[in-house]
Amino acid sequence: MNALLDGVLADLAGEGERLESLVVGLPDAAWRTPTPAAGWDVATQIAHLAWTDEAAHAAATDKARWDALVLEALADPDHSVDRAAIQGGLAAPPALLTRWRTARTRLARTLRDYPQGQKMPWYGPPMSATSMATARFMETWAHSLDVHAAVGVAPEVTDRIRHVAHLGVRTRDFAFATHRLPAPTEEFRVDLTAPSGEVWSWGPEDAAQTVIGPAYDFCLLVTQRVNRTDTSLVAVGRDADTWLSVAQCFAGPSGEGREPR
């Protein structure tokens, strides 16, 4: 029994169901609506989520399949993700939706049964089942924002985003490494105000470098769904300020981010 994992999986299921309810009734033509991610329409976003859930399942259960996915990524690191998403998005919407529903449900079962204390490989650092579930929540939430923007529906903002905020804080040094920068040698204090008004905190209270602001802004930033200049985040300290310029909580290339509004 892993109460932490069960909680993340419940929130992940809720996030997936929310996105599915948004797209399930769309006419086929609406699946071709461009999203804020350049070159990706609604179908591409859903195909990417399905593909990544399938890749995570392979990482946890099928070494040969996982090794093949790694070789594909190494052969074309700048385009392999786009290619899989765009190709997958060519499917008819009902088939694509079934593919994603099947993939995310199967992955949730796999993660719930994954041995505690073991880690599975991934494109970034190896992950426990709870870490993988958190990463899948982050990506589902982030791509859901893109779909909401495409169809003109404001997303519901809930305290479930704490998973994204936690991942954003935990991947600080990874973000520096991705940008080939030395990681800071000291911890930061991070105080973020949740949608509910609660304050979520990480790091020592007496830290010299700090980040404060709305949790929603921080989550948008670490998933590269907003330009830093359009947030209300405040950094104190040179390294903390640099972090907000390079922050990303996902594996793979950093991408170009979003233009200022």
pLDDT tens for each residue of 14-55: 999 999 999 999 999 999 999 999 999 999 999 999 999 999
- Taking only Cα atoms into account, the Rg of the chain, rounded to an integer number of angstroms, comes to 18
Average pLDDT over residues 231-246: 97
Q: Residue 233 above 90 pLDDT?
A: yes
Average pLDDT over residues 131-153: 97
Average pLDDT over residues 164-180: 95
Q: Residue 178 above 70 pLDDT?
A: yes
Average pLDDT over residues 183-190: 97
| Predicted local confidence at residue 260, as pLDDT | 79
| Predicted local confidence at residue 174, as pLDDT | 92
- Residue 121's pLDDT band, with cuts at 50, 70 and 90, is very high
| Predicted local confidence at residue 259, as pLDDT | 78
Average pLDDT over residues 92-119: 97
Average pLDDT over residues 225-252: 94
Between strands 210-214 and 189-193, the pairing is parallel
Exposed e or buried b for every residue in 2-25, given b needs 16+ CB within 10 A? beebeebbebbeebbebbeebbee
Q: Residue 258 above 80 pLDDT?
A: no
Q: Residue 253 above 90 pLDDT?
A: no
| Predicted local confidence at residue 125, as pLDDT | 82
| Predicted local confidence at residue 78, as pLDDT | 81
- Residue 254's pLDDT band, with cuts at 50, 70 and 90, is low
**Max Cα distance, the chain (Å):** 55
Residue type, 87: Q
- Hey, what are 174's tokens? 């990874």
- Residue recorded with tokens 């990874």: 174
Tell me the whole-structure pTM to 2 decimals: 0.94
Q: Residue 144 above 90 pLDDT?
A: yes
| Predicted local confidence at residue 52, as pLDDT | 97
Residue type, 122: W
Average pLDDT over residues 55-59: 97
Residue 197 backbone dihedrals phi, psi, to 5 degrees: 100, -15
- Cα–Cα distance between 252 and 255 in angstroms, integer? 9
Contact 121, 128 (CB under 8 A): no
Q: Residue 114 above 90 pLDDT?
A: yes
* Mean pLDDT over each residue of the chain, to the nearest integer: 95
